[in-house]
Amino acid sequence: MLPLRWGKFWLASGWILVVLVVVLSVMPGATELRLTLSDKTGHMLAYLVLTVWFAGVYTRSRYPWIVVGLILLGGGLEMVQRQLLHRSAEFADLVANCIGISAGIVLSLIFLGGWCLRVERLVGVDRK
């Protein structure tokens, strides 16, 4: 993990986002949530946000683990959805997840990685 003053906060917040994605992926009626975005765009954005979030908490050497973990999360949720009567599993959802993860890693490598450190510096939090 990066040398963050609020590291536990950033990490816990990321896991809350993961739980939110899991809940929305398995709960009945989640498909009833009407956004102005398509289902696939929602998948891409959710996994892009998760990727960038965790890339803000961890060093670049951990990025491959972030990618693998999020791909496994998306794949696991699709397998769970396959077992649920009120949900359906789609390979296209997994592809959309992977596109979001890829975009998130690219953005993190270019300029968003370590964003938590920059936020802490911006608000004047020094690591002691």
Evaluate whether residue 51 is within a structural domain. yes
- Give the C-alpha separation, 107 to 88, whole Å: 30
Quote the domain boundaries for residue 82: 7-26+42-122
pLDDT (tens digit per residue) in 45-95: 999 999 999 999 999 999 999 999 999 999 999 999 999 988 888 999 999
24/47: higher pLDDT? 47
End-to-end Cα, the chain, rounded Å: 16
List the one residue out of 42, 59, 28, 58 whose CA is nearest residue 99: 42
Evaluate whether residue 84 is within a structural domain. yes
Evaluate whether residue 32 is within a structural domain. no
Single pTM value for the model: 0.91
Q: Are 50 and 18 in contact (CB under 8 A)?
A: yes
Looking at residue 109, what DSSP letter applies?
I
87/12: higher pLDDT? 12
- Give the C-alpha separation, 69 to 22, whole Å: 13
- Give the C-alpha separation, 47 to 101, whole Å: 5
Question: In total, how many domains does the chain have?
Answer: 1
Looking at residue 113, what DSSP letter applies?
T
E strand intervals along the chain: none
- Position 72: which residue type? L
